[in-house]
Amino acid sequence: MGIDLKKGSKVNLMKDNVRLDKVMLGIGWDIIPGNSLDLDISVFMVGENGKLPADEYFIFYNNLKSPDNSVEHTGDNRDGEGDGDDEMILAYLSQINPSIKELIFVASIHNAEVLNHHFGMLDNAYIRIVDVDKKNEFLRFNLNKSTFGNATDMEFGRLIKSGRDWTFKATGDGTRIGLQGYVDQYV
Residues lying near Ca ion in the complex (CB under 5 A): 28, 30, 38, 40, 76-77, 80, 86
Residue 107 exposure: Cα atoms within 13 Å on the Cβ side: 35
Half-sphere exposure of 67 (CA within 13 A, CB side): 14
Nearer to Ca ion, 18 or 90 (CB): 90
Nearer to Ca ion, 26 or 28 (CB): 28
DSSP-based three-state secondary structure for 169: strand
Helices (runs of H) and strands (runs of E) counted in the chain: 3, 11
Min dist CB 128 to Ca ion, Å, is 13
Smallest gap from residue 16 Cβ to Ca ion (A): 32
CB 80 to Ca ion: min, Å: 4
Please say which residue, 70 or 77, places its beta carbon nearer to Ca ion. Answer: 77
Q: Which residues contact 116 (CB under 8 A, 6 or more apart)?
A: none
Least gap, CB of 144 to Ca ion (angstroms):
15
